[in-house]
């Protein structure tokens, strides 16, 4: 199924970064003020975040958005 | 905060009093007045009591309340809610149009058909008006 908010081709390193820092989904969700389900959906690519949430995530990990979210243009 | 909680409780009690009053005065006041009392009373009771319960919950368990607020404002939940509302609205609009056709087939009074078509048109017009408004805003 396509992500609910479209945007195929957007991948992220959220799960990798979270696990590398030993953070649980609940903790990340609390820090970002979103639900744990949102973190789960982001990690498995079912949901693409708003630009605001993307900034929040980037600031949380001390990285740029581009370092976390990877856009791969689909061949036409 | 406590003042607000008590205010909601007072509103709920006022609603209950109005609703009970409409039952007590049945036959002694006109039906429209009784209906108004019952409608206003029930509405006030439901609103006041729900708000009071929410405030009490907030006072007793602020952590759980904070979590509920996060869940309610969570952008994915908001997107899901809006999408569900939009799709259900669309389905309902076409169901109303189908009801208009069925009413013609069943030989229902003309006002039933016209009312159904009216609802369909009103929804379509509102949709266009909101689209124009949002296009200006965004």
Domain ranges of chain B: 3-72, 76-137
B86-to-A49, A62, B42, B80, B93 alpha-carbon distances in Å: 20, 37, 29, 10, 11
* pLDDT attached to residue B123: 94
Q: How far is residue A1's CA from residue B36's CA, in Å, rounded to a whole number?
A: 50
10 Å Cβ neighbour count for A42? 26
- Cβ–Cβ gap B79/A5 under 8 Å: yes
Instruction: Tell me: pLDDT of A1 over 80.
Output: no
**pLDDT per residue over A4-60, tens digit each?**
554 567 899 999 999 999 999 999 999 999 999 999 999 999 999 999 999 999 999
- pTM equals 0.72
* Pairwise CA distance, residues A58 & A70, whole Å: 13
Q: Is the pLDDT assigned to residue B131 strictly greater than 90?
A: yes
Integer Cα distance of B97 and B117 in angstroms? 6
Residues of chain B above pLDDT 70, percent: 99
Residue closest to A12 by CA, chosen among A60, A62, A72, A56? A72
Tell me the residues of chain B between 67 and 126 that have a Cβ less than 8 Å away from chain A. 70-71, 73-77, 79-80, 83
Report pLDDT digits (tens) over B106-115.
999 999 999 9
- Classify the complex by whether its ipTM is higher than 0.90, answering yes or no: no
- Residues of chain A in contact with residue B76, where contact means CB-CB under 8 angstroms, are 34-35, 37-38, 41, 47
- The answer on pLDDT for A76 being more than 70 is no
Question: In chain A, which residues have their Cβ closer than 8 Å to the Cβ of B69?
Answer: none
pLDDT (0 to 100) of residue A55:
97
User: Residues B47-106: pLDDT tens digits?
Assistant: 999 999 988 888 888 888 888 889 989 999 999 999 999 999 999 999 999 999 999 999
Residue B1 has pLDDT above 70, yes or no: no
Question: CB burial class (10 A; 0-12, 13-18, 19+) of residue A21?
Answer: exposed
pLDDT of residue B88: 97
Question: For chain B, what percent of residues have pLDDT higher than 90?
Answer: 75
- Return the pLDDT at A3: 52
């Amino acid at each position: 199924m396509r992500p609910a908010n479209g945007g195929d081709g957007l991948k992220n390193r959220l799960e990798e970064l979270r696990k590398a820092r030993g953070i649980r989904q609940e903790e990340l969700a609390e820090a970002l003020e979103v639900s744990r389900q949102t973190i789960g959906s982001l990690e498995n690519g079912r949901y693409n975040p708003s630009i605001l949430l993307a900034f929040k995530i980037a600031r949380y990990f001390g990285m740029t958005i581009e370092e976390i979210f990877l856009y791969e243009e689909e061949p036409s | 905060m406590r003042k607000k909680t008590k205010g909601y409780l007072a509103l709920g009690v006022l609603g209950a009093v109005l609703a009970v009053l409409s039952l007590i005065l049945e036959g002694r006041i006109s039906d429209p007045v009784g209906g108004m009392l019952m409608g206003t009373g029930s509405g006030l009771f439901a609103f006041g009591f729900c708000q009071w319960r929410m405030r009490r919950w907030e006072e007793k368990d602020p952590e759980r309340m904070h979590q509920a607020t996060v869940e309610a404002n969570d952008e994915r939940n908001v997107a899901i809610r809006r999408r569900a509302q939009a799709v259900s609205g669309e389905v309902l609009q076409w169901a109303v149009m189908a009801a208009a056709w069925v009413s013609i087939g069943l030989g229902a009074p003309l006002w039933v058909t016209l009312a159904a078509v009216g609802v369909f048109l009103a929804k379509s017009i509102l949709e266009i008006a909101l689209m124009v408004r949002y296009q200006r805003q965004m």
